[in-house]
Amino acid sequence: SFAADVVPKAPEDPLFGLMTAYRADTFEKKVDLGIGAYRDDNAKPWVLPVVKKADAVLRSDPNLDHEYLPIAGLQQFTSASQKLILGKNSPAISEKRVASLQTISGTGAVHLGALFLKKFYRPGQTSSVYFSSPTWANHNQIFSNVNLPITTYPYFSAKTRGLDFDGMLSSIKSAPEGSIILLHACAHNPTGVDPTQDQWKQVAEVMKARNLFPFFDCAYQGFASGDLARDGWAISYFVEQGFELVVAQSYAKNFGLYGERAGCFHFVAAPASDATDVATRVASQLAILQRSEISNPPAYGARIASLVLNDPALFAMWEEDLRTMSSRIIEMRKALRSKLEELGTPGTWNHITDQIGMFSFTGLTEAQVQKLRADSHIYMTKNGRVSMAGINTNNVQYVAEAINKIVR
């Protein structure tokens, strides 16, 4: 049997541990600012109206069955996903140099990408993957599971609570040739801080000069600005610049399909006369990896997303739903900031409205986070990240007052 020194007890996943603690709390005014899932103004999960509609269409189909999908997933879903993430007029699509596989949401896409790179990227050479500091905690686990060496580039400035762009750029500049640079396409998790388009252009220029490999993680398209094309801009710009790159795409947040695990992995070959052949060969290897990992991806969420992505009327409804979610979050940013300022809370709070997407990196210390939980039953991750979706018109005053109290 396995001795404890062989299989030591692992710590509980911090985020899901937080969720359990929140659920067990019986205090009436408790507030969940932990998990990154959208909530409506009554703190309830929100099934997007367009998803309800697509779901009803699917369920009324007498021919709906539960057969296996192909290894690469639902073809109408993966091709619509390419258009969504690269832009429908992307040269990469018309030149047939994209290989796409449906995955177990964004996590599965990141994993498939990591596994593929470990196996095929620059054989015989060790290339590291660079993460922003900080990044989504799971990046570390996923890439270490496949034994890719990990290092970080500066990203967040604790002083300005904005982007440390000089630090980011100079670190990327000095990365060894061929390094893999993981980039959050938009709505950076956990900081809510994104480069501007001009800054992205500078990053692309340096990466091109240094022959670095972009790995885009896109879990919040449509959530940052409410505009899908705008949120996907960095990826389409890099493709335009002729990079060979990969993208992990999640539909968890923007469709509210969290538990259905709908996502996609894309490999884009650089423009070249043999680019279609490169993409075809890569697709064949990705299929082998996929087969050994999950055989084939789950069908239901992809069917829902596919219906919406391929139907102009449903697509327009989806865009409306995205605006509903992103604008409620923006309103809550404004409300929280102005309440903190009204209370004269020490410090500056402009970062709450400057940051975008689902999260705000408040700058609260771990001790303050613990005190908020103990005194006020407000739950957030210990790095001071707040899921803005947990704030609503009923609790924003309570949250502001609690923060005001603990920072004094």
Site residues (vs ligand PMP, CB under 6 A): 36, 105-107, 110, 136, 184, 189, 217, 219, 250, 252, 263
Query: Which CB atom, from 253 or from 337, has the smaller least distance to ligand PMP?
Result: 253
Q: Is 253 a catalytic residue?
A: yes
Write the burial class of residue 196 (CB in 10 Å: 0-12 exposed, 13-18 middle, 19+ buried). exposed
Q: Of 32, 46, 53, 136, which one is the catalytic site residue?
A: 136
Query: Which CB atom, from 130 or from 349, has the smaller least distance to ligand PMP?
Result: 130
Minimum CB–partner distance for residue 11 and ligand PMP (Å) = 19
**For the chain, percent helix, then strand, then coil, each to nearest 5?**
45, 15, 40
Minimum CB–partner distance for residue 338 and ligand PMP (Å) = 27
Q: Rounded to whole angstroms, how far apart are CA atoms 233 and 201?
A: 11
* Amino acid in the structure at residue 212: L
Minimum CB–partner distance for residue 104 and ligand PMP (Å) = 7
Q: Which residue is nearest to ligand PMP (CB)?
A: 106
Tell me the three state secondary structure of residue 262.
strand
Minimum CB–partner distance for residue 249 and ligand PMP (Å) = 9
Question: Which backbone phi and psi does 268 adopt, to 5 degrees?
Answer: -115, 120
Query: Which CB atom, from 219 or from 305, has the smaller least distance to ligand PMP?
Result: 219
Q: Rounded to whole angstroms, how far apart are CA atoms 126 and 118?
A: 9
Q: Of 46, 194, 200, 253, which one is the catalytic site residue?
A: 253
Contact 407, 364 (CB under 8 A): yes
Q: Is 46 a catalytic residue?
A: no
Query: Which CB atom, from 219 or from 403, has the smaller least distance to ligand PMP?
Result: 219
Q: According to DSSP H, which parts of 75-153 are helical?
A: 75-86, 91-94, 105-120, 137-145
Write the burial class of residue 249 (CB in 10 Å: 0-12 exposed, 13-18 middle, 19+ buried). buried
Q: Rounded to whole angstroms, how far apart are CA atoms 185 and 182?
A: 9
Query: Which CB atom, from 103 or from 345, has the smaller least distance to ligand PMP?
Result: 103
Report the b/e string of 72-95 with b at 16+ CB within 10 A: bbbeebbbbbbebbbbeebebbee
Minimum CB–partner distance for residue 390 and ligand PMP (Å) = 14
Q: Is 136 a catalytic residue?
A: yes
Show which residues are catalytic: 136, 217, 253
